[in-house]
Amino acid sequence: MSLSEIAPLLGLNLLAITVIMTLLTRLAVRWGDVSFIDGVWPLGMLFLALITFPRTDGDPVRKGLILWLVGVWAIRLGWHLLKRWREHGADRRYTAILEGQARKGWSFRRTAFLFVFLPQGALAWLNSLPAQLGQIAYAPPIGWIGWTGAVIVVIGIAFESIGDSQLAAFKKDPANKGQVMDRGLWRYTRHPNYFGDACVWWGLWLIAAETGWVGIVSIVGPLFLTFTLTKWSGIGITEKAIRSSRPGYEDYIRRTSAFIPWPPKKG
């Protein structure tokens, strides 16, 4: 598939996710809450992989593997985040955005679309480039690089799932209220869920990269996702909120790796 054929494929995918986000904005207006976008976001990436599948002529094994791995990751994470939203309600991050723009005279609908749903749709499209471009080239058949990527994806899903499960169990115990979760995987990284996400998409990039230049350029996706998780809207925003409510969190920061799992520092 040539560049002139790839551009329309990606362009139509971007248009499709924009339409989905426009419809979700209407739903958010009806509910008066945008926080469900966190759970919808991984499902949006699965949606992009799905609509790419019938429009590409890549290796059926590679395409099936990509779709299966993205599906497991997206459905597990989407269900987890949507369940959390239902249990805890509106996310204060989004509430702050909506209230801030409301003071400037912006409507709920306008703020929700331009500051929440439209950016999330664009990010889903960008971050999922390996799942889109990895389905294009037919040759070569999937080899050791691709299967290595698949193993990394599985490790990432497992790492993220175990971390989420450990945190949920910790929060259910009333004795842990106000305490810092520093057990299990959280002993080695302050954000095992973010690290797991990064592993998933770097693994998918390896599967895509085996196809040649088309797959290799999809590295933009995992690079931007890693930047987002570590430098932009991930660790920074999450820890800013935790620091004000967890007295021992500063000490936890000093002794525990922020992202990549590593033995904690002594003392």
In a domain, residue 261? The reply is no
CB under 8 Å, gap of 24 or more: what pairs does 87-93 form? 89/33, 89/35, 90/33, 90/35, 91/35, 91/38, 92/241, 93/237, 93/241
Mean pLDDT of 52-57: 94
Question: What is the extent of the structural domain holding 215?
Answer: 3-255
In a domain, residue 88? The reply is yes
In a domain, residue 21? The reply is yes
Tell me how far apart the alpha carbons of residues 181 and 238 are, in angstroms, rounded to a whole number.
14
In a domain, residue 111? The reply is yes
In a domain, residue 220? The reply is yes
**Is the model's pLDDT at 266 over the cut of 90?**
no
Greater model confidence, 244 or 45:
45
pLDDT, tens digit, for every residue of 87-110?
Answer: 888 888 899 999 999 999 999 999
pLDDT, tens digit, for every residue of 106-144?
Answer: 999 999 999 999 999 999 999 999 999 999 987 789 999
Name the pTM for this structure: 0.93
Model pLDDT, residue 81:
95
- At 63, the amino acid letter reads K
* Residues of the chain above pLDDT 70, percent: 98
Q: CB-based contacts of 173: which residues, under 8 Å, 6+ apart?
A: none
Longest pairwise C-alpha distance within the chain: 60
* Residues of the chain above pLDDT 90, percent: 79
In a domain, residue 18? The reply is yes
Mean pLDDT of 33-59: 96
Q: How many domains does the chain have?
A: 1
In a domain, residue 267? The reply is no
Model pLDDT, residue 236:
76
The secondary structure of 1-25, three-state, reads: CCHHHHHHHHHHHHHHHHHHHHHHH
Model pLDDT, residue 267:
62
Model pLDDT, residue 54:
95
In a domain, residue 263? The reply is no
